[in-house]
């Protein structure tokens, strides 16, 4: 059985790694990895591939940056010849980035079955490009693997038959649990001079937060207020750094007791997240990881496609109102942050369940 596995952006790497590892248990599976190059920073890709023990991609489409339409179109144009050459029995796409949708569409049009890992997540906000990607990918997928029970409800309301939906858990958690001990050995806190000290960790990359200079300026002001209480560590997405510079805010960040860093490797970031007093983010994956780590998380968005991190986990949706953000940080520092619990099937076995479903569907057996 020939399977094409698609990654395009760094969050995809954490999702595909446990799947590739599990597929190696099945002698009949010939797995190939396609990197679309949507995240094109060669150094950061190298770090993630090394830390997660990912094999070198069999194909790198080297698409790079561009508008959503241009990027999606380029991935489709470059992926189709790969599909023709490899003639896979299944294409696996993960997450909700442009590469996810682009490769799912190409496969569906060529009548190649598609499996979508992390299906059924919904923010119900179509101003988010990721929401459009999720909806359309799920519409053309043949196998839909979900991380939480409510995802199946969303899919069935959209007309997806129940027999194509499988609640398997969270592959991001598989990776987190596998590498947690290695991450604990990171020396990043010592390097930053914060070992043994409380600190806040922040990530920002959503267009709604970083593309509007006024919105970004308000968040920088909030970080300054938080920085007066404890150090703020800010590993910034390259796009975020660009927007801060364009808005004339980069120097302002540095003057407000905020440590603006280049993007970090996976192990260093997990280490910082594990030991943070509070995490502020607009990332979906960070909401999930902090829930498993038991670290209070404040999500700087009006909505989330991962409500289970709120109902069961450590996540609180705070939006972007400065007063509320500061108030919620103060609550956490007073010991009133959410403790939460780990959701069902977030146990490090999601990849095993996914590959087992695929194996049953295609009549395969493990070694």
Q: What pLDDT score does 10 carry?
A: 86
Q: Active site residue: 39, 179, 205, 275, which one? A: 205
179: CB partners within 8 A, 6+ apart: 51, 52, 266, 267, 270
- Give residue 39's pLDDT: 67
Distance CA 104, CA 55 (A): 22
Structural domains for the chain: 2-169+349-362 (3.40.50.2000), 181-333 (3.40.50.2000)
* Per-residue pLDDT at 16: 97
pLDDT of the residue at 40 = 60
Low-confidence ranges of the chain (pLDDT < 50): none
pLDDT at position 21, please? 97
User: What is the tens place of the pLDDT at every residue in 336-353?
Assistant: 999 899 999 999 999 999
Please list the helix, strand and coil fractions of the chain in percent, rounded to the nearest 5, in that order. 50, 15, 35
Classify each residue of 1-15 as buried b or exposed e, where b means 16 or more C-beta atoms within 10 Å of its C-beta.
bebbbbbbbbbbbbb
Handedness of CA 10, 15, 17, 23 (dihedral sign): negative
Quick one: pLDDT at residue 65?
85
Q: What is the rounded CA–CA span in Å between residue 203 and residue 297?
A: 11
User: Which pLDDT does position 70 carry in this prediction?
Assistant: 96
> What is the DSSP-derived secondary structure letter of residue 230?
S
| pLDDT tens digit sequence for 195-238 | 999 999 999 988 889 999 999 999 999 999 999 999 999 999 88
Q: Is 205 a catalytic residue?
A: yes
Greatest extent of the chain over all pairs of C-alpha atoms, in Å: 61
Residue 174: per-residue pLDDT: 98
């Amino acid at each position: 059985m020939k399977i094409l596995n698609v990654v395009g952006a760094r969050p995809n790497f954490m999702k595909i790694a446990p799947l590739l590892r599990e597929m190696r248990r099945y002698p009949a599976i010939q797995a190939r990895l396609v990197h679309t190059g949507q995240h094109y920073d060669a150094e950061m890709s190298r770090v993630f591939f090394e830390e997660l023990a990912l094999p070198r991609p069999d194909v790198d489409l080297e698409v790079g940056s561009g508008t959503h339409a241009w990027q999606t179109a380029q991935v489709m144009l470059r992926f189709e010849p790969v599909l023709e050459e490899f003639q896979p029995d299944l294409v696996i796409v993960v997450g909700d980035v442009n590469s996810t949708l682009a490769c799912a569409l190409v496969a569906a049009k060529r009548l190649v079955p598609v499996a979508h890992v992390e299906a059924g997540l919904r923010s119900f906000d179509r101003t988010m490009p990721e929401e459009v990607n999720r909806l359309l990918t799920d519409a053309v997928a043949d196998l839909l693997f979900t991380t939480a029970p409510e995802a199946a409800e969303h899919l069935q309301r959209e007309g997806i038959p129940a027999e194509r939906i499988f609640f398997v858990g969270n592959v991001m958690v598989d990776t987190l649990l596998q590498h947690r001990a290695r991450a604990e050995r990171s020396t990043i806190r010592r390097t930053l001079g914060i070992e043994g000290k409380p600190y806040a960790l922040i990530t920002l990359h959503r267009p709604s937060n970083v593309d509007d200079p006024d919105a970004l300026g308000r968040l920088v002001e909030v970080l300054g207020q938080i920085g007066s209480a404890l150090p703020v560590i800010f590993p910034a997405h390259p796009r975020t750094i660009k927007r801060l510079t364009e808005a004339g805010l980069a120097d302002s960040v540095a003057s407000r007791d905020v440590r603006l860093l280049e993007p970090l490797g996976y192990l260093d970031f997990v280490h910082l997240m594990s030991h943070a007093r509070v995490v502020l983010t607009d990332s979906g994956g960070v909401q999930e990881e902090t829930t498993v780590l038991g670290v209070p998380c404040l999500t700087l968005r009006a909505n989330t496609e991962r409500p289970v991190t709120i109902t069961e986990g450590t996540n609180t949706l705070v939006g972007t109102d400065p007063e509320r953000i500061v108030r919620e940080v103060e609550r956490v520092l007073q010991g009133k942050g959410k403790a939460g619990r780990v959701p069902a099937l977030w146990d490090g076995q999601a990849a095993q369940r996914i590959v087992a479903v695929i194996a049953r569907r295609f009549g395969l057996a493990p070694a």
